[in-house]
Chains A and B, each alone.
Chain A
Amino acid sequence: DVKVTQSSRYLVKRTGEKVFLECVQDMDHENMFWYRQDPGLGLRLIYFSYDVKMKEKGDIPEGYSVSREKKERFSLILESASTNQTSMYLCASSQFRARYEQYFGPGTRLTVT
């Protein structure tokens, strides 16, 4: 079974803090994704990566950056957390040839106060 793990289930940070969310997958998937999920807005893509050291902006990249130094790990960085970044953050991965058949991690619920 594909396993996608995320560093924290719950996180509380203060406004202005730098926040790191980490995601690790164990199936040698080429593609990795970061989404946020908010009530009424569904899943929205923040950033994705098709290879090590490669990144592409999703639909809502403002206020976020990412890092992919190793194939299995994809980090989401909030440079200066703001209250409107309070959300559920979901990481996903997929094979290169089945990029849309994504496997999700359990999510990190981030609260910025």
Chain B
Amino acid sequence: RKEVEQDPGPFNVPEGATVAFNCTYSNSASQSFFWYRQDCRKEPKLLMSVYSSGNEDGRFTAQLNRASQYISLLIRDSKLSDSATYLCAAEAAGNKLTFGGGTRVLVKP
């Protein structure tokens, strides 16, 4: 089993709609989690850090469910510019980050 798993998608989302997707992790000792955004043919960029139960930044909300070992990302009022691949990352043993394979989101007019 992969340490961090994501549904690859794509999630096809009408503009203005809400979309949510999850990331599951296997290491129960992980304390810190992150969402990175990666546009096509670009480098990943940090979107949000999650250190406790959740975090909110504008239209983006991340929630952590430790009991079920997953993190979710919710995007409200989706914009065309939200189309990207969203990478989930979890703190791993040895001061490393382990990344999931990414979830692709396509926002359509």
Contacts and interface: CB of A to CB of B under 8 A. Distances in A.
Interface of A: 35, 40-45, 48, 50, 56, 58-59, 90, 99-107
Given A42-B99, A100-B34, A106 B49 contact: no
Given A42-B87, A56-B94, A101 B49 contact: yes
Contacts of A107: 43
A105 B32 contact: no
- The size class of the interface chain B forms with chain A is 20 to 34
B42 A100 contact: no
A42 B36 CA distance: 12
A58 B96 CA distance: 8
B43 A43 contact: no
Given A40-B101, A45-B96, A58-B96, A103 B46 contact: yes
Main secondary structure of the interface of A (DSSP, over half): loop
Considering the complex of A and B, which 9 residue pairs feature the smallest CB-CB distances, nearest first?
A: A104-B43, A42-B101, A43-B99, A42-B99, A104-B44, A100-B97, A106-B43, A101-B46, A100-B32
Nearest to B91: A100
B95 interface: yes
Contacts of B98: 45, 59
Interface string B6-45: 0010000000000000000000000010100000001111
Nearest to A107: B43
